Structure 1
């Protein structure tokens, strides 16, 4: 039946054309934005996951910045410790030279004084952002430094910030308020062989401001005996051993921070890739789909035109 009131063919063609236009709008939106899931209405589950992971990735970026700060602190401490070890090695060499008969011990002591001043300068200047792992002027014997190491989201959805810690008790060289808190200001007991006997000596290298060390300072005078000098050499060598251990600890912390920083960067990239797989549009697929929809749209328009022209044929019946 042909009706001029209801054109079923035109309605069908129009419905198809509307569907094609809707699909074209979706495809064009994906092409222009680059996302197949841009809003929650596109895919609520994927949008929710992507939004949460983007937020976590921003936190990971902050972690990377914090790790960079921690690495700078460890680098500064290690550089200072390495320089201090070199200076203390020079002091030990000067003391060994003082053992030579006929040398001017007073002049060597002047060199020792300048080397000690250099140690103080190194320890005090090894500071980054107000934190110093080698020098302290408080009565506490070192503190535990915390550095942000990672951002973790557990299987239950709860988040936490993990830290990397370093105990400055292991690396503090000078403590002006508590001599026992510094490797160079505290009393260092060492044993040594003098002649056929074994003796022990207790010395400190740097005099703290408070001066609560009970032993003698490593200092040469014209009357310093060979026995005393041997004791000083043994004590300074013991200090060097402690400083070497401290440098190894700082170096291990530095290595861990660098390793964690590298992992954080790789993890951030992996998360970003995972988000992309969920919400990014495949541009090759979308461009192909757009071309097909444009062709379908043209055919739909032609079909609608044909359907509308069928009613014109009714007029010929009344001529």
Structure 2
């Protein structure tokens, strides 16, 4: 039935065109933003998950930065400790050379004193970001024997956990100005201290040679402790580096997971855009044809 009051064809065409325009606007938004789920309105569940994962990813990025800082600190301490091993080895070699009867122990002591000064200088210079784990003052109120590096961030059942990598610096201290309990400023088994050993007054007497042998033994003991400390720092450094690599890979994995939830498939969206543009043109044409039906009714009365 043809009616002037109700144009059913135009209504149908208009509804179809409106639906096409809405789908076209949605597709254009996805192409513009790159997101299939840009707001909670698009998909509340996916948007909520993605938002939480993005927040956690930012926290992981902060952890990665903290691990980088920790790695740099450990590298500084390890480098200084490695140099210390070389200098203590030289002191040990000088003492062994001084065991030879008739040598000028005063001259050898001058060399040992220079090495002792270098040891102190290295320990005092091993500073990164205000941290020094080799030369300390345990009586300082800010002193803490355990240094921590943020190692990871995780969320389980809504609960957040921050893991730390702890380093006991009592094993790495070369000097402690408070109580001389560092490896180099403490008395070893025979009562000798690497930092203060002095052979200038020693003679070739049996007692003095025994004292010299005790010095050699004590320096060797200190060298063993320094080697252990360097090993500990090296192991901690490697652990931090491995954790940093893992956090970097985990961050990338989370980014991919978020993308799977909310990113738009640009290939599919571009194909859909072209189809909707054609549908829009056809819808406009259909609406135009439906609207012209009233003019056809007018021709009946001519």
TM range (shorter): over 0.9
Question: How many angstroms apart in 2 are the aligned matches of 1:147 and 1:273?
Answer: 27
* Contiguous gaps of at least 5 residues in structure 2: none
Match of 2:89 in 1: 89
Q: 1:310 to 1:29 in 2, by over 3 A?
A: same
Question: How many angstroms apart in 2 are the aligned matches of 1:38 and 1:299?
Answer: 29
Q: Does 1:36 align with 2:40?
A: no
Match of 1:76 in 2: 76
C-alpha displacement at 1:223, in angstroms?
2.5
CA contact (8 A) 1:147 1:163 kept: yes
Match of 2:286 in 1: 303
C-alpha displacement at 1:222, in angstroms?
4.0
Match of 2:209 in 1: 226
C-alpha displacement at 1:152, in angstroms?
1.2
CA contact (8 A) 1:71 1:257 kept: yes
CA contact (8 A) 2:60 2:152 kept: yes
* Equivalent residue runs for 1:142-157 within 5 Å: 143-154=145-156, 156-157=157-158
Number of residues of Structure 1 aligned to a counterpart in Structure 2:
297
CA contact (8 A) 1:91 1:112 kept: yes
Question: How many angstroms apart in 1 are the aligned matches of 2:99 and 2:163?
Answer: 53
Question: How many angstroms apart in 1 are the aligned matches of 2:285 and 2:138?
Answer: 88
Q: Does 1:281 align with 2:264?
A: yes
Question: How many angstroms apart in 1 are the aligned matches of 2:199 and 2:161?
Answer: 52
Match of 2:16 in 1: 16
Question: How many angstroms apart in 2 are the aligned matches of 1:142 and 1:59?
Answer: 26
C-alpha displacement at 1:142, in angstroms?
6.7
Match of 1:196 in 2: none
The Cα offsets for residues 204-227 of structure 1, whole Å up to 9 and x where unpaired, read as 1125xxxxxxxxx45442426221
Question: How many angstroms apart in 2 are the aligned matches of 1:220 and 1:234?
Answer: 18
- Of the three residues 218, 232, 235, the one matched with 1:252 is 235
CA contact (8 A) 1:142 1:167 kept: no
* Equivalent residue runs for 1:91-110 within 5 Å: 91-110=91-110
Question: How many angstroms apart in 2 are the aligned matches of 1:44 and 1:176?
Answer: 61
* Contiguous gaps of at least 5 residues in structure 1: 190-200, 208-216
Question: How many angstroms apart in 1 are the aligned matches of 2:201 and 2:86?
Answer: 24
- Higher share of residues assigned strand: 1
Match of 1:213 in 2: none
Question: How many angstroms apart in 1 are the aligned matches of 2:105 and 2:148?
Answer: 45
Match of 1:169 in 2: 170
The Cα offsets for residues 110-143 of structure 1, whole Å up to 9 and x where unpaired, read as 1111110000001000111111111112338970
Normalization by structure 1: what TM-score?
0.90
Normalization by structure 2: what TM-score?
0.95
Question: How many angstroms apart in 2 are the aligned matches of 1:137 and 1:309?
Answer: 95
Q: Does 1:205 align with 2:194?
A: yes
Moved over 4 A (4+): none
Match of 1:269 in 2: 252
Match of 1:48 in 2: 48
The Cα offsets for residues 54-85 of structure 1, whole Å up to 9 and x where unpaired, read as 11111111111100110011001100100011
| Partner secondary structure for residue 35 of structure 2 | coil
C-alpha displacement at 1:100, in angstroms?
1.3
C-alpha displacement at 1:101, in angstroms?
1.8
CA contact (8 A) 1:63 1:150 kept: yes
Match of 1:26 in 2: 26
| Partner secondary structure for residue 191 of structure 2 | strand
C-alpha displacement at 1:15, in angstroms?
0.4
Question: How many angstroms apart in 2 are the aligned matches of 1:252 and 1:91?
Answer: 26
